[in-house]
Structures are given as structure tokens and as C-alpha cells.
Amino acid sequence: MTASKAGLTLPAWPVDANLVPYQVSRAASLRYFVDGQSISVANNDIVRFTLVAKGTGSAENVSYEAFRCSTGERTTYAYGKTDRTWREVADPQWAPIARADEARNVLLAYHLCPARRAVKDAAEGVNALKYGHPSATGVTGGLRPDRGF
């Protein structure tokens, strides 16, 4: 863990054994994961996590982000570099999640912030990623039947 300019402690670099997959859609060209060890909850509203998007081969994007569950906003604190260290965002800002950003919308609504409420802790977040959150409408066993998977 590393101290951040934003007053946060950046998490350790994600390890494959701690990555919890979640499905965005069958058509997604990337596979998405959250580092279960990085999930933290602050003020009963802010959920922080490391997001990993893997493409074919060894291509991957890593970022340390947060959701403000009550408003559905997101921010990014740091991006992963190829040497497996963090590049901090100079001035992280909260912004709405773009409608086209399906990966983050699914993560927010179906896993980490169902019904615009934060999971209570990391364990609940990991369970929600694995099995779907009971407060998320239309979620069964971590899958989204409204999307046919």
C-alpha cells in the first residue's frame, strides 16, 4: 500500500488470486474483475475498489476507483502502469457514470451499490460480485436475466 496525494492509501497491486470476475455482457470484448482485497467502504456511501479489465493476451487496464452510491457518481484515484505501480490522478473529480459505460454501470447497480446503497463491507462486496446482490432487481446468482445470461 502506498500513501496517496488525495489522502488515501493506494492498495497493493492486484494479484490474480484475489480478482473476482463479473459479467458485463456476452458481447463484451474485455473481461472485468474487481480485486476483492481492495474493496473498502467509507461513510456508508463511498465504495473504493481496484478495477481490472483484461483483453486478449496480456493486455489489461487497472484503475483504483470509487463510487458515491447515493448519487451514482464515480471517480478515479489512480491508474495502473506497466511496471505494476500506480500513477495518481492529480485532482480526482466526481462525475456521473456515462450511460455507455456498461462495465461500471453493472458494477454499481448490480454489485457494489444496489438500490443506490453501498455494500456494508468488503465481504458483502465480494459476495455480491460472486452471486449478485439480493437488493439488486433482476439479479440471480450473479447473473442478469434481463440480459439473457
User: What is the reported pLDDT for 106?
Assistant: 93
User: What is the reported pLDDT for 1?
Assistant: 56
Nearest 5°: CA angle at 4, between 119 and 129? 25
User: What is the reported pLDDT for 4?
Assistant: 56
Q: Which residues contact 58 (CB under 8 A, 6 or more apart)?
A: none
CATH no. of 2-147: 2.40.128
Q: Return averaged pLDDT per consecutive 10 residues of the chain, 149 residues in all.
A: 68 96 85 97 95 89 97 97 96 94 93 93 94 68 38
Q: In whole angstroms, how far apart are CA 130 and each of 19, 46, 87, 111, 119? A: 11, 20, 29, 9, 14
User: What is the reported pLDDT for 142?
Assistant: 42
User: What is the reported pLDDT for 140?
Assistant: 41
User: What is the reported pLDDT for 71?
Assistant: 95
CB contact at 8 A, 37 and 12:
yes
User: What is the reported pLDDT for 84?
Assistant: 95
